[in-house]
Structure 1
Amino acid sequence: MTDRTENPFLYIVVCAAGIADDVGTLIMAAQERNWNVGVVATPQALGFIDAEAVEAQTGYPIRSAWRVPGDPRPLPPADAIAVAPATFNTINKWAAGISDTLALGILCEAYGFGTPTAVLPYVNAAMAAHPAYGQSLDRLRAMGVHIGGYEPHQPKAGGGRDKFRWEEALELLAPHVG
């Protein structure tokens, strides 16, 4: 297991959304607030981010797949988790308890560990209109997940990059991490 650090450790779970390439904004904001950061990406998100740049910025490898038994853990345990950007798919699977990727497994376990978790949804209005989405957000709230206030963008419009507040994840977590 990787040694604990003096600073708290934040996992940033990144999903496959068009704005994922800006995750460095959240990494920098967290580091400025004295967090050490590791990134866990959904398998599809790997195609949306610059893995080399993210790993250089965090000093840790990006996790995307389960490790082989006996291999060392590349990241310390999380003191908190930020899911940003969070897609329709990830939100619904997480709320349903589906653990078919490392990212979802970590999120499902976080509830049992009591790890403070914030999610910044990034979905379009057509997907957000689906009843499962609202039900999933309600379930996550009931689980104690802190949900950001991003308003769904218009479909097929390349939407909302300028309105997505990466730092909101840290603001949501601050009262819950000591």
Structure 2
Amino acid sequence: MTKRVLYLIACAAGPTEYVDESVRQAQARGWDTCLILTPSAARWWEPRLAELEELTGHRVRSQYKLPGDQDALPKADAMLVAPLSCTSLNKWGNGIADTVALGLVSEGVHLGVPVVAMPYFNQAQASQPAVARSIADLRAQGVLYLDGPDGYKSHPPKQGNPQKYPWHLALDGVGAIAGLTL
């Protein structure tokens, strides 16, 4: 039996510094985990990308492939966007797919791939009117958006704790939406 494939898509938000922990947790739940980073998040990991590739067994994607290039990753059975930054949330909610991270998930949700998103941004950013509209738009498309007590509750400005990001709740959401009890 082959493992189910999870695309873990991480944006440039504090917990991305610890995305390797999420990969390990997903793998412990039986997922073949492929990591996709926004270009800014990839810059954070640039000196250690080889470590992530060894951990996942796949190339870490952060750029669109060139026409004619073969896909570097297997087809996704589910996608998790975590941590989702405020910027990427609003781009995605408005249909802007200017990065491979947003392009994959924007297309995936409309191809029937189960998609979960869990944010990480502060309360001041969360108060922007575009945030509520983007969340509503993603939920209307079938994205399981985990915020508040079911996921990540926005923190006061300058008081976030990226090390305590609840990766397990995001992965629980993936299991639920993908029909798994892992």
TM-score, normalising length: structure 2: 0.90
Report the number of matched residues: 173
Give the structure with the higher percent helix.
Answer: 2
Aligned letter for 1:126? A
Aligned letter for 1:172? G
Aligned letter for 1:48? W
Q: How many angstroms does 1:90 deviate by?
A: 0.6
What is the distance in 1 between the residues matched to 2:154 and 2:18? Answer: 18
Q: Does 1:176 align with 2:182?
A: no
Percent of counterpart pairs with the same letter?
Answer: 39
Q: How does 1:1-178 map to 2 (within 5 A)?
A: 6-49=2-45, 50-148=48-146, 149-157=151-159, 159-178=160-179
After superposition, give the CA deviation of every residue in 1:55-79 in whole Å (9 maximum; x if it has no partner). 1110111111111122221101110
Unaligned runs of 5+ in 1: none
SS in structure 2 opposite 1:51? helix
Aligned letter for 2:62? S
Aligned letter for 1:70? G
What is the distance in 2 between the residues matched to 1:23 and 1:162? Answer: 10
After superposition, give the CA deviation of every residue in 1:1-60 in whole Å (9 maximum; x if it has no partner). xxxx81100001010112211111111111111110111110001122331221111011
SS in structure 2 opposite 1:115? coil
Unaligned runs of 5+ in 2: none
SS in structure 1 opposite 2:30? coil
SS in structure 1 opposite 2:36? strand
Structure 1 residue runs of 4+, over 6 Å off?
A: none
After superposition, give the CA deviation of every residue in 1:73-115 in whole Å (9 maximum; x if it has no partner). 1101110001111000111111111111111111110121011
Root-mean-square deviation over aligned CA pairs: 1.4
Contact 1:11–1:78, Cα closer than 8 Å, also in 2 = yes
What is the distance in 2 between the residues matched to 1:136 and 1:153? Answer: 19
